Amino acid sequence: MLTIARLTGDEMRARLDDLARLRIAVFRAWPYLYKGTMEHEREYLPRYAEARTGTLVVARDGEKIVGASTALGLDEESDYVRTPFEKAGMDLAQIFYFGESVLLPEYRGQGVGVRFFEEREAAARAHGYREAAFCGVVRPDDHPARPADYVPLDAFWARRGYAKRPDLVATF
């Protein structure tokens, strides 16, 4: 049975290596194609635990973390993420940014993705943010690594009330 919990501060800091391992495992696949290292992850991830609004939602199967999702205020996010919103004249102090969501394949289709959104949306409200945003990976439809059975998450996001904004593009 899966359990979902929202972590902050020291609780989050204690689970960052678990998040790092999940990111490396899940992001190797399409559409991310990310070849991460623990060294890079240990430099990148602490910012969530250090941020005033940093949030980590974990999915556990027993004691094992099998999924995780991050968030923080866009006003605390990196420049490369903030820049498109700033150029569009948006108030970063009103937008909560949803970082990654990673879930091992064998646990998908059980409602964990919905819970990740619900928990991050609750964190946004708790911190006083009015809006939420996230980035999705954009790759060409004819990319040679694209699996034939790939189903984009656009419909899932739309059911949650999110819409694509082609005018807001960040480069990672």
Q: Which residues contact 88 (CB under 8 A, 6 or more apart)?
A: 167, 168
| The pLDDT value given to residue 1 | 84
Across the chain, which has 172 residues, the per-10-residue mean pLDDT values are: 93 95 95 95 94 97 96 96 96 97 96 97 97 94 94 94 93 84
Q: Using DSSP bridges, classify how beta strands 55-61 and 64-73 pair: parallel, antiparallel or unpaired.
A: antiparallel
User: pTM for the whole thing?
Assistant: 0.93
